[in-house]
Amino acid sequence: MILSTHDLGWSPRRGEMIVRNLDIAVREGETLGLVGPNGSGKSTLLRLMAGILTPSRGDVRLGGRSLRAMARREAAQSIALVEQHADTEDRISVRDAVEIGRTPWLSALSPWSAADDAIIDDALRAVDLEPLAARDWTTLSGGERQRAHIARALAQRPRVLLLDEPANHLDIQHQLSILDLIAGLGLTTIIALHDLNQVMACDRIAVMHDGRLRALGPPKDVLTPFLLAEVFSVGVAILSDPEDGTPILRFKPL
């Protein structure tokens, strides 16, 4: 159990609880999919897990230790987050943008070294962006920017990688290649996804509904017509891919 939440809840100041009573334990090495309708609390949960938000109730633990007791820097050495809307107007090169991922590891006593350069090279290689390293951020396509963000997260050398709808707004080819890339990293990954067919590749999925955890388990067990009707208000026919037998969800109005 690498990352876990315990009776986790969060509300803005003087506001209603956005997420509540969350008890999720993420296993080392697994890929956990986060699904739920818009506004169900997926992004809030990811931000709580990354330690960007401080819980209003309960806590998030990394390897059993509460994030509350940890310096931000220490948490960032273990947890990396790829946000949905992070972007910049700066004319920064791809390599520079990825180098920023080393921030939690650097200090006056441990300045930039050749080891850091090697880590950046690895990260760029892992997302196939080596040839574009010198390019300006603003000249990148959406898919390339997403890869660069992932490279920056990898440069943190995290134990847990959190991704908030990384395939959003990409065309289908790039969606598949990004998801393929993430699956190949071999990291403990928690990924919020919009497309329910894409979560089939996850080891387990957590279904969020109105800020609560509605179900948690392997996709095939969880995504039942009953749950989909209740949480997403859609009907579904479950088909099967003739090539490999993967279930395919075909949605229809209730």
The CA–CA distances, whole Å, from 193 to 22, 171, 181 equal 18, 15, 15
Report in angstroms how near the CB of residue 206 gets to other proteins at its nearest: 20
Pick the piece of the chain touching other proteins (CB under 8 A) from 28-36, 47-55, 195-203, 215-223.
47-55
The yes or no reply on residue 115 touching other proteins (CB under 8 A) is no
* Lookup: tokens for 36: 């739920």
- Report 126-145 residues binding other proteins (CB under 8 A): 136, 138-139
- Report 147-206 residues binding other proteins (CB under 8 A): 149, 156
Count of residues in contact with other proteins, rule CB under 8 A: 46
Report in angstroms how near the CB of residue 221 gets to other proteins at its nearest: 32
CA distance 43 to 48: 9
Q: Residue from 24, 32, 99, 200 that binds other proteins (CB under 8 A)?
A: 99
Pick the piece of the chain touching other proteins (CB under 8 A) from 22-30, 58-66, 101-109, 222-230.
101-109
Query: DSSP string covering the chain, please?
Result: --EEEEEEEE--TTS--SEEEEEEEEPTT-EEEEE-STTSSHHHHHHHHHTSSPPSEEEEEETTEEGGGS-HHHHHTTEEEE-SS----S--BHHHHHHGGGGGG--SSS---HHHHHHHHHHHHHTT-GGGTTSBGGG--HHHHHHHHHHHHHHT--SEEEEESTTTT--HHHHHHHHHHHHTT-SEEEEE-S-TTGGGGSSEEEEEETTEEEEEE-HHHH--HHHHHHHH-EEEEEEE-TTT--EEEEEEE-
The yes or no reply on residue 104 touching other proteins (CB under 8 A) is yes
The yes or no reply on residue 80 touching other proteins (CB under 8 A) is yes
The yes or no reply on residue 111 touching other proteins (CB under 8 A) is yes
The yes or no reply on residue 122 touching other proteins (CB under 8 A) is no
Query: Binding pattern to other proteins, positions 54-73, x when CB under 8 A?
Result: x----------------xxx
161/206 with CB nearer other proteins: 161
Nearest to residue 164, comparing CAs of 29, 12, 41, 74? 41
Pick the piece of the chain touching other proteins (CB under 8 A) from 57-65, 82-90, 217-225, 228-236.
82-90
61/95 with CB nearer other proteins: 95
- Residues near other proteins (CB under 8 A) are 12-13, 47, 50-54, 71-77, 79-81, 83, 86-93, 95-97, 99-101, 103-104, 106, 108, 111-112, 114, 117, 136, 138-139, 149, 156
